[in-house]
Amino acid sequence: MGKLNNQQVIQSLTSAFGDRISVPSEPYDFLTFETSAENISEVLRFLKEDKELKFNYLTDITGIHYPEQKLSIGVIYHLHSLSNNVRVRIKVFIGGDAPHIPTATKLWEGANWMERETYDFFGVIFDGHPNLVRILNVDDMTVFPMRREHPLEDPNRVDKKDYFFGR
């Protein structure tokens, strides 16, 4: 196992995409790079269908929110090449109140619920998704609760104020 290493993946990625992807980093040996919403479909397709790389397994799709950034919502893909035993993490940052990104369901059926979950919690709109509705939260919820502006607890509660705890 482990016929490929991160350097070879970086090489074939940079030769295929050049500066359309960011310079990859390797936190804890986990190959990580960024790309843009325009390129993400192509990057995913390349990684999945390349004869050498064969990132055929979509481990996860999730989101992250950095309110201080202009492109505040991040969508994070974890792919796994089972035959080469290499993992890669791809981040795409998108902005706006209703951030758009193309769906990955055309490549992996399994992306369906992962994208619905990301939509449910971060409000990312996956263009081309067959059924983009809420999945874990109630259907009539109006906010996207994992965004940072939503506090964990009701801010109007008075029994948990700091001064009760000497802070």
Partner 1 sequence: MTNHPIFTDNDPQKETFILNLGPTHPATHGVFQNVLVMDGERIISGVSTIGYIHRAFEKIAEHRPFYQITPLTDRLNYCSSPINNMGWHMTVEKLLGIETPKRVDYLRVIVMELARISDHLICNGILGVDTGAFSGFLYLMEEREHIYEIYEEICGARLTTNIGRIGGFERDFNDIAFAKIKKFLVKFPPILKEFEILFNRNRIFIERTSGVGAVDPETALNYSWSGPILRATGVDYDVRVNEPYSSYQDFDFEIPVGTSGDVYDRYIVRNEEMWQSLRIIEQALQKIEKEPKGVFHADVPEFYLPPKEEVYNSMEALIYHFKIVMGEIDTPKTEVYHAVEGGNGELGFYLVNDGGRSPYRLHFRRPSFINYQMYAPMSAGMLLSDAIINMSSLNVIAGELDA
Q: Which residues bind partner 1 (CB under 8 A)?
A: 1, 27-28, 30, 32, 56-60, 62, 64-65, 76, 78, 82, 85, 87, 89, 108-114, 117, 121, 133-140, 145-146, 152
Residues 6+ apart with CB under 8 A from 141: 134
Q: Decide whether 18 or 27 has the Cβ nearer to partner 1.
A: 27
Q: Which residue has the tokens 């970086």?
A: 10
Q: How far is the CB of 99 from partner 1 (least distance, A)?
A: 16
Q: Which is nearer to partner 1, 16 or 71 (CB)?
A: 71
Closest CB to partner 1 among 17 and 108? Answer: 108
Q: How far is the CB of 96 from partner 1 (least distance, A)?
A: 20
Q: Does residue 19 sit in helix, strand or coil?
A: helix
Q: How far is the CB of 20 from partner 1 (least distance, A)?
A: 22
Q: Which helix (H) or strand (E) holds 60?
A: strand 57-65
User: Strand 86-94 to strand 73-81: parallel, antiparallel, or no bridges (unpaired)?
Assistant: antiparallel
As measured in angstroms, the least distance from the Cβ of 131 to partner 1 is 8
**In the complex, minimum distance from the CB of residue 67 to partner 1, in angstroms, rounded to a whole number:** 12
Which amino acid would we find at residue 32? T
Beta-strand pair 73-81/57-65: antiparallel
Q: How far apart are CA 156 and CA 139, in angstroms?
A: 24
Q: Which is nearer to partner 1, 43 or 78 (CB)?
A: 78
Output 71 or 146, the one with its CB closest to partner 1: 146
CB atoms within 10 A of CB 45: 13
